[in-house]
A and B are shown apart, each in its own frame.
Chain A
Amino acid sequence: MRSKKFRSTLITFGMVVAAFIACQVMISTGAMTRSLKGQLVPICAYIVMAVSLNLTVGISGELSLGHAGFMSVGAFSGIVMAMWLSKGVGLANETVCLLLAILTGGVAAGIAGVLIGIPVLRLRGDYLAIVTLAFGEIIRNVINCLYISLDGSALHIAFNNPNVPGKLLVNGPAGATGVTKIATFGMGFALVLFTLFVVLNLIDSRSGRAIMAIRDNRIAAEAMGLNVTKYKMMAFVTSAVLAGMAGALYGLNFSTVAASKFKFDTSILVLVFVVLGGIGNIRGSIISATLLTILPELLRAFANYRMLIYAIVLILVMLATNNPTLRSLVQRIIPHKKGQKKEADEA
Chain B
Amino acid sequence: MTLFLSYLINGISLGSVYAIIALGYTMVYGIAKMLNFAHGDVIMIGAYVSFCAMQYLGLPALVSVVLAMVACTALGIVIEGLAYKPLRQAPSLAVLITAIGVSYFLQNSALLIWGSAPKSYPSVITLGSINLMDGQLVISGGTIVTVLANIVIMVALTLFTGRTKFGKAMRAVSEDKGAAELMGINVNATISMTFAIGSALAAVAGVLLCSAYPTLQPTTGSMPGIKAFTAAVFGGIGSIPGAMIGGVLLGVIEILGKAYVSTELGDALVFAVLILVLLVKPTGLLGKPVREKV
Cβ distance A132 to chain B, nearest Cβ, rounded Å = 10
- A25 to B162, alpha carbons, bound, how many Å? 68
Beyond the given A135-B275, A160-B262, could you list 4 further A-B residue pairs with CB under 8 A, ordered by the A residue number? A57-B93, A138-B271, A308-B105, A315-B102
Taking CB as reference atom, which chain B residue is nearest A173? Answer: B264
- Say yes or no: is A32 at the interface (Cβ < 8 Å to chain B): no
**B104 adjacent to A314 (CB under 8 Å):** yes
- A160 to B111, alpha carbons, bound, how many Å? 34
- A115 to B221, alpha carbons, bound, how many Å? 31
- Given A145-B264, A160-B264: A321 in contact with B94 (beta carbons within 8 A): yes
Which residues of the other chain, B, contact A268 by a CB distance below 8 angstroms? 100
Number of interface residues of B (CB under 8 A): 45
Cβ distance A220 to chain B, nearest Cβ, rounded Å = 9
- Say yes or no: is A311 at the interface (Cβ < 8 Å to chain B): yes
Main secondary structure of the interface of A (DSSP, over half): helix
**B108 adjacent to A311 (CB under 8 Å):** yes
Taking CB as reference atom, which chain A residue is nearest B268? Answer: A141
Q: When A and B form their complex, what is the total count of cross-chain residue pairs whose Cβ atoms lie within 8 Å?
A: 123
Of A203-211, A229-237, A270-278, A337-345, the one with at least 4 CB within 8 A of chain B = A270-278
**A322 adjacent to B87 (CB under 8 Å):** yes
- Say yes or no: is A71 at the interface (Cβ < 8 Å to chain B): no
Of A8-16, A72-80, A122-130, A193-201, the one with at least 4 CB within 8 A of chain B = A122-130
- Say yes or no: is A112 at the interface (Cβ < 8 Å to chain B): no
**B100 adjacent to A314 (CB under 8 Å):** yes
**B102 adjacent to A324 (CB under 8 Å):** no
What is the 8 Å Cβ interface bit string for chain A, positions 318-330, against chain B (1 contact, 0 not)?
1101111000000
The 8 Å CB contact of A275, one of B89, B97, B112, is: B97
Main secondary structure of the interface of B (DSSP, over half): helix
- A188 to B218, alpha carbons, bound, how many Å? 35
What is the 8 Å Cβ interface bit string for chain B, positions 68-101, against chain A (1 contact, 0 not)?
0000000000000001001101110110111011
- Say yes or no: is B67 at the interface (Cβ < 8 Å to chain A): no
**B109 adjacent to A308 (CB under 8 Å):** yes
| Interface set of A (CB-CB < 8 Å, partner B) | 57, 63, 119, 122-124, 126-127, 129-131, 133-135, 137-138, 141-142, 144-145, 160, 172-173, 219, 264, 268, 271-272, 275-276, 279, 304-305, 307-308, 310-312, 314-315, 318-319, 321-324
**B86 adjacent to A134 (CB under 8 Å):** no
Q: Give B253-293 interface residues, CB cut-off 8 Å to A.
A: 262, 264-265, 267-268, 271-272, 274-275, 278-279, 282-284, 292
Cβ distance B93 to chain A, nearest Cβ, rounded Å = 6
What are 27 A-B contacts with C-beta separation under 8 Å?
Answer: A57-B93, A63-B96, A119-B275, A119-B279, A123-B279, A123-B282, A126-B35, A126-B237, A127-B282, A133-B226, A133-B230, A138-B271, A141-B268, A145-B264, A271-B100, A307-B108, A307-B111, A308-B112, A310-B104, A312-B101, A315-B98, A318-B87, A318-B94, A319-B83, A322-B86, A322-B89, A322-B91
- A119 to B89, alpha carbons, bound, how many Å? 32
- Say yes or no: is B182 at the interface (Cβ < 8 Å to chain A): no
**A319 adjacent to B87 (CB under 8 Å):** yes
Which residues of the other chain, A, contact B230 by a CB distance below 8 angstroms? 130, 133-134
- Say yes or no: is B294 at the interface (Cβ < 8 Å to chain A): yes
- Given A134-B274, A319-B86: A307 in contact with B97 (beta carbons within 8 A): no
- Given A142-B268, A275-B93: A315 in contact with B101 (beta carbons within 8 A): yes
Which residues of the other chain, A, contact B35 by a CB distance below 8 angstroms? 126, 129
- Say yes or no: is B229 at the interface (Cβ < 8 Å to chain A): yes
- A138 to B108, alpha carbons, bound, how many Å? 27
- Say yes or no: is B209 at the interface (Cβ < 8 Å to chain A): no
- A264 to B35, alpha carbons, bound, how many Å? 15
- Given A127-B282, A219-B292: A144 in contact with B105 (beta carbons within 8 A): no
- Say yes or no: is B233 at the interface (Cβ < 8 Å to chain A): yes
**B104 adjacent to A318 (CB under 8 Å):** no
Cβ distance B203 to chain A, nearest Cβ, rounded Å = 22
- A319 to B230, alpha carbons, bound, how many Å? 27
- Given A160-B262, A173-B264: A318 in contact with B97 (beta carbons within 8 A): yes
The 8 Å CB contact of A323, one of B29, B86, B91, is: B86
**A134 adjacent to B275 (CB under 8 Å):** yes
**A141 adjacent to B275 (CB under 8 Å):** no
Cβ distance A43 to chain B, nearest Cβ, rounded Å = 20
- Given A126-B237, A137-B267: A305 in contact with B112 (beta carbons within 8 A): yes
**B97 adjacent to A272 (CB under 8 Å):** yes
Which residues of the other chain, A, contact B271 by a CB distance below 8 angstroms? 134-135, 137-138
Which residues of the other chain, A, contact B112 by a CB distance below 8 angstroms? 304-305, 308
